[in-house]
Amino acid sequence: MPSQIEIIEEALFLPGAAGQLEAVLTYPESGNSVPNVLIAGPHPLLGGDFENNVVQQLSNLLAMCQMTTLRFNYRGVGLSEGEKVISTDNISQFLATSHIDEEENFGEDVASAGNYLQQHFGKIDCVIGYSFGAYLASKWADNNENVKSIVMISPTIEKHDYNPFMNLNIPKLVISSLDDFAVPLDDLNKLFSECKEPKKLIIENIDNHFFRGYENWLAKAIQEFLGDIP
């Protein structure tokens, strides 16, 4: 990655359905950045916030490749407004069901962050969803014609409904690790083979679900994918 490019990380609050959401807009110092990218992170109960290694590193590395990225904290996470997600009730519910009621509402936060980008740039060139964020990203992209492409990293296909993803006509990139605890290969193969073109699947044998030390590799794969889109 071109590390010599200086980037600006602009902390901001954007309007959300349950109050303001804490977010970071990152772009090259030189300006004139295209494309723009929204990044949705993992499940907040499993440590998913905008400082997650994949979310933060992708945000910076893609900005170094002349893109503008927006990452944000879901409601109740970090400084985002809303009821704190790390609560006794939520943890109890998650232990019992692997889900929490609030989960679907995080989708509204993706939409809010997307709206922010759209208002400033007219469209969203790409939405990147990592882990649980891949589920929210695919659901949102299905309802928004201004989203031009989608990247799903380690999608939680065993736990969430990815049917909306199947019908997306936009270019799709799916990245997973062979040893990913959350992504059964058979299910991923089925999902990918049944979803519409254009599509690309990358499976590598790296660090389970976490891509630690492979953030540069991830950014490069995404940069290439976006570069191939006419």
Residue numbers at the binding site for other proteins (CB under 8 A): 45-47, 51-53, 86-88, 91-92, 94-96, 98, 178-179, 181-182, 184-186, 188-189, 203, 205, 208-210, 212-213
Per the CB < 8 A criterion, the answer to whether 112 and 18 are in contact is: no
Q: Which is nearer to other proteins, 87 or 105 (CB)?
A: 87
**φ/ψ of residue 91, rounded to 5:** -65, -40
Minimum CB distance to other proteins, residue 37 (Å): 21
**φ/ψ of residue 21, rounded to 5:** -110, 135
**φ/ψ of residue 126, rounded to 5:** -155, 140
Q: Which is nearer to other proteins, 94 or 217 (CB)?
A: 94
Q: Which is nearer to other proteins, 92 or 143 (CB)?
A: 92
Residues 6 or more apart whose CB falls under 8 angstroms from that of 117 comprise 36, 38, 70, 124
Q: Which is nearer to other proteins, 54 or 63 (CB)?
A: 54
Minimum CB distance to other proteins, residue 82 (Å): 17
Q: What is the DSSP string of 49-102?
A: STTSHHHHHHHHHHHHTT-EEEEEPPTTSTT--SS-SS-HHHHHHHHHHS--TT
Q: Which two tokens stand for residue 52?
A: 């997650």
Q: Which is nearer to other proteins, 121 or 217 (CB)?
A: 217
Minimum CB distance to other proteins, residue 105 (Å): 19
Minimum CB distance to other proteins, residue 100 (Å): 11
Convert 124-155 to b/e letters by CB count within 10 Å (16 or more is b): bbbbbbbbbbbbbbbbbbbebeebbbbbbbbb
Q: Which is nearer to other proteins, 111 or 218 (CB)?
A: 218
Minimum CB distance to other proteins, residue 155 (Å): 15
d(CA 105, CA 13): 18
Specify the amino acid at residue 106: F
Minimum CB distance to other proteins, residue 167 (Å): 22
